[in-house]
Amino acid sequence: MTNLEYPIPLQSQKHMLEPRFTRKHQFWFWFVSFLMLGILFLPWTQNIKSRGKVTTLYQEQRAQEIHSPIPGRIARWYAKEGDYLKKGDTILQLSEIKEDYLDPNLIERTKEQVNAKEEVILSYENKIGSYGNQVNALREALPIKLKQIEIKISQVNFKLKAEEAELKAAENEVKLLRDQYERQQKMLDEGLSSQTQLQQRLIAYQNILAKKQGVENKLMQSKQDIGNLQLEKNQIIQEYTEKINKAESERFQSEGEIAKTKSELAKLRNQVASYVVRNGFYYILATQNGQLVKALRGGLGEVIKEAEYIATIIPDDQQFAVEIFVRPVDMPLIHTGQSVRFIFDGFPTVVFSGWPKYSYGTFAGTIYSYENNIHDNGMFRVLVIPDNRVKPWPKQLKTGTGVQAIALLKDVPLGYELWRSVNGFPPDFYQPNDKKPNEKKK
């Protein structure tokens, strides 16, 4: 019973129930504690991570697709995939398939049509000149004809005046002889004169009446002549006017034909120029120095359509840039000139995202621009260019290489960054200091 009430303590039990710390254990405990506490106060660079790819800064340095400017049949390939070409080198030759351009002498025949149209224009110009001379001659002849008619009318007017004077004299003689005849008749009735004298007076009176009638007839004829001359004058004016109008109408018609022919001539010249340019399209040339890739068309004799894709040229001289896509929530933290670190696919790296200076294998860049419109993927596109002051980008880069970007933001304590990450808060908003070091404050 005594042994059961007071058991003998075991050695292991003593160690379990009475733990103790040695000085060594205490040292390491406090050392690790202070170390962890100190790490929480280490500076940490906030950052935004994103994926992207390598591109070029300028559009003309990107992959250039080559399309056929005209439909045709492949006659010969001068280059193959993988060849490095210089600007202006021939890639392939096309032959014509459209019936409108099959004539090998098409340009020369069209030029002959141009020459014929030019001769037609020259003949019309000569015709216009002759019509112009005809109009001038008619306009010069019309006053002469009118002057001749005016002279004739003046002569008839003088004759008319003389005849009017003659008629007046005849009327006076008629009156005188009628009076003499009447007195002679009265004297005969009174027996103071003979019958013979009366007959003589009668004959003289009748003669003067006949003379008067003749003068009146001549006067009426002269007046009729004046009327005829006026009609002739009007007829001449009308006749010359019709001739002048007809000549001018022919001239205007010729000018219209010239305008029409010039329009046709311009069209023919345009066709000649188009044919000459089209002949240059039979040879597809390299647009710039680079490597030929992705030749989709193969053997000879294949028909290609207008604007159909043929191949692609990768330019030799490229100024690389990186395009990345940033979430809308991170977009306010992006600024032009901001530093970015890159991890290129295929290049070994050791990355400490919060301590960029101690990372290995990363490359530096600066934000060149960013777009203000959102893309179909729901993110904003940002373009980054190399920062050669830190480290040049590798020469082995190719367009399209995958990139992981780390946009550097504000320096904060590591503990604060852990607290922010645990709570899901975004990085701190900040304004970059764009002032130069030597800039004086006003």
Query: 23-40 and 414-423 helices cross at what angle (nearest 10)?
Result: 70
Query: 195-280 and 106-190 helices cross at what angle (nearest 10)?
Result: 170
**The pTM is what?**
0.55
Q: Where are the domains of the chain?
A: 42-57+319-423, 64-96+284-314, 106-280
Model confidence pLDDT, tens digit, residues 139-161 = 888 888 888 888 888 888 888 88
pLDDT of residue 47: 67
pLDDT of residue 441: 39
Model confidence pLDDT, tens digit, residues 169-227 = 877 877 887 777 777 777 777 776 677 777 777 788 788 788 878 878 888 887 888 88
Model confidence pLDDT, tens digit, residues 33-74 = 777 777 666 676 666 778 889 988 888 888 888 888 888 888
pLDDT of residue 12: 53
Q: Which of 17-31, 343-357, 428-442 has the highest mean pLDDT?
A: 343-357
Average pLDDT over residues 358-383: 84
| Tokens encoding 80 | 């193959």
Band of the pLDDT at 1, cuts 50, 70, 90?
very low
CA torsion 160→166→172→178, rounded to 10°? -110
pLDDT of residue 376: 85
Band of the pLDDT at 438, cuts 50, 70, 90?
very low
Full 3-state SS string of the chain: CHHHHCCCCCHHHHHHHCCCCCHHHHHHHHHHHHHHHHHHCCEEEEEEEEEEEEEECCHHHCCEEEECCCCEEEEEECCCCCCEECCCCEEEEEECCCHHHCCCCHHHHHHHHHHHHHHHHHHHHHHHHHHHHHHHHHHHHHHHHHHHHHHHHHHHHHHHHHHHHHHHHHHHHHHHHHHHHHHHHHHHHHCCCCHHHHHHHHHHHHHHHHHHHHHHHHHHHHHHHHHHHHHHHHHHHHHHHHHHHHHHHHHHHHHHHHHHHHHHHHHHHHHHHHHHHHHHCCEEECCCCEEEECCCCCCCCCEECCCCEEEEEEECCCCEEEEEEECCCCHHHCCCCCEEEEEECCCCCECCCCCHHHCECCEEEEEEEEEEEECCCCCEEEEEEECCCCCCCCCCCCCCCEEEEEEEEEEEEHHHHHHHHHHCCCCCCCCCCCCCCCCCCC
Q: Domain 106-280: give its CATH code.
A: 1.10.287
Fold of 64-96+284-314: OB fold (Dihydrolipoamide Acetyltransferase, E2P) (2.40.50)
Model confidence pLDDT, tens digit, residues 240-270 = 889 889 888 888 888 888 899 899 999 989 9
Average pLDDT over residues 316-322: 86
% of the chain beyond a pLDDT of 70? 80
Q: Which CATH superfamily is 42-57+319-423 part of?
A: Efflux pump adaptor protein, beta barrel domain (2.40.30.170)
